[in-house]
Amino acid sequence: MGLDTAWARAWVSRSAEVVSEHKTELITLDREIGDGDHGENLDRGFTAVLAKLDDLPAEARPGDVLKLVATTLISTVGGASGPLYGTAYLKGAQAVADADSLDADAVVAFLTAARDGVVLRGKAEVGDKTMIDAWTPAVDAASAAAQSGAGGAEVLSVAAEAAERGAETTDALVARKGRASYLGERAIGHRDPGAVSTALLLRAAADTASAS
């Protein structure tokens, strides 16, 4: 089967589900070190993407699905995370270009371009207590897995696992970007909401890939 358009559509549907399931958790995390809107923002965004998915033509490629996610998140999510996720999916879509399906190398190219897009836009580094603390370990682990011969679904699974561990590392950090940076040391002990949502989205990608 492979990571084709059916998979990309399934990833969007699963993303909308997990974001909705974890909405309250993301709101709570963002309330602790931000303004409490992250769960609401993302839920609104993925609900909007889901509504537009049926309008895509039958011949749409994975890159078209990812581009739809990008433009919809940019116009509906708002906050810091809207433009950041929008850029991630847009750069990721450009990286996969017009491929009919994604192999392991294309998955790595997608993740790398998405992460680089977030960095370009938000200027955060690993250790700043942002979504980059989930994205970068995911990219590194995915790249290593692809180099040792893993397939696309396995690469996504390894990436999701690394993003989850990366999100956990944000507990101990002081935030140096975004609203949480206003809190100084008081942010310690709280997990970054954007790192958690990144891990959820990558887990959704991996779960739908292993089922396809």
Segment 74 to 133, residues that bind ligand ADP, using CB under 6 A: 79-81, 84, 118, 122-124, 130-132
101 vs 197 by CB, closer to Mg ion: 197
Contact string 130-149 vs ligand ADP (x = CB under 6 A): xxx-----------------
Cβ 80 to Mg ion shortest distance, Å? 7
9 vs 177 by CB, closer to ligand ADP: 177
Cβ 201 to ligand ADP shortest distance, Å? 12
**CA 62 – CA 156 distance, rounded (Å):** 15
**CA dist list (Å): 131 to 1, 66, 89, 122:** 31, 19, 14, 10
CB 42 within 8 A of CB 78: no
In the three-class reduction of DSSP (H, G, I as helix; E, B as strand; rest coil), residue 102 is classed as strand
**Footprint of Mg ion on this chain (CB under 5 A)?**
30, 34-35, 37-38
61 vs 191 by CB, closer to ligand ADP: 191
Could you tell me which residues come within 8 angstroms of residue 197 by beta carbon, excluding any fewer than 6 positions away? 19, 22, 26, 38, 42, 81, 131
193 binds, among Mg ion, ligand ADP, none (CB under 5 to 8 A by kind): ligand ADP
Read off the tokens for 30. Answer: 């963002």
CB 8 within 8 A of CB 65: yes
Q: Find tokens 């998140």 and name the residue.
A: 73
146 vs 173 by CB, closer to ligand ADP: 173
30 vs 207 by CB, closer to Mg ion: 30
Query: Phi-psi bin for 79: left (phi > 0), alpha (psi -120 to 50), beta?
Result: left
Could you tell me which residues come within 8 angstroms of residue 178 by beta carbon, excluding any fewer than 6 positions away? 34, 80, 122, 124, 130, 194
131 vs 146 by CB, closer to ligand ADP: 131
Question: How many of the chain's residues bind ligand ADP (CB under 6 A)?
Answer: 24
Segment 2 to 61, residues that bind ligand ADP, using CB under 6 A: 30, 34-35, 37-38, 41
Cβ 175 to ligand ADP shortest distance, Å? 8
Which spans of this chain sit near ligand ADP (rule: CB under 6 A)? Answer: 30, 34-35, 37-38, 41, 79-81, 84, 118, 122-124, 130-132, 177-179, 192-195
